[in-house]
A = this chain, B = another copy of it.
């Protein structure tokens, strides 16, 4: 019964970063929006220094951009950026799938199949928002099963930028043809076929053709 998990001990600095990050990936703050340190400080009821550190944090995550002495703004992504995000995401997820397949265990396989079933179930209902979330959850589970903390955080970075773009473009990003590709991916991982898992993972992401 570890209660410490519930007590918020995170610094205000990172909590502020969390809040702003949420606002960005959810689309409340759209790309190009200017962010003023003093204004944010008042809004969040924090000091300017605290906000500053949070902004720098988000800066290294690629979510906000600063031009010296001029200000901060929510990062705007162009086609090249989007291509970079897609390709990077595919590579990272391919690696994750390979690792997950290599070290798959009973429990992991069960969780994976369950996540897939959940996704299928939601697909029949047709709630796009829910499907999207289940899709993301499935992918995130694969990352987790790879037991690679750095891979996880790198993926997280890419995903945040990706989501920020999606949210802003209001492009309901097509949960990628949820049927076959996911099935093959899940199957390959559970069967421990690392090569096929990697291939399927990459195929799964690269429904990108139509965007080029």
Contact = CB atoms under 8 A, between A and B. Distances in A.
Interface of A: 9, 11, 13, 49, 52-53, 56-57, 60-62, 68, 81, 84-85, 87-88, 91-92, 95, 99, 148-151, 154, 158
A199 to B, nearest CB: 12
Given A53-B56, A57-B60, A85-B150, 5 more contacts: A56-B57, A62-B150, A84-B150, A87-B95, A87-B148
Nearest to A90: B95
A5 B149 CA distance: 36
A88 B56 contact: no
A93 to B, nearest CB: 11
Number of copies: 2
Given A57-B56, A60-B60, A158-B150, A9 B88 contact: no
A61 B53 CA distance: 14
A149 B91 CA distance: 15
Contact of A151 (B53, B60, B61, B88): B88
B149 A84 contact: yes
B148 A68 contact: no
A61 B151 CA distance: 13
Contacts of A13: 56
Q: For A49, A95, A150, A154, which residue has the most chain B Cβ atoms within 10 angstroms?
A: A150
A206 to B, nearest CB: 13
A95 B84 CA distance: 12
A91 B85 contact: no
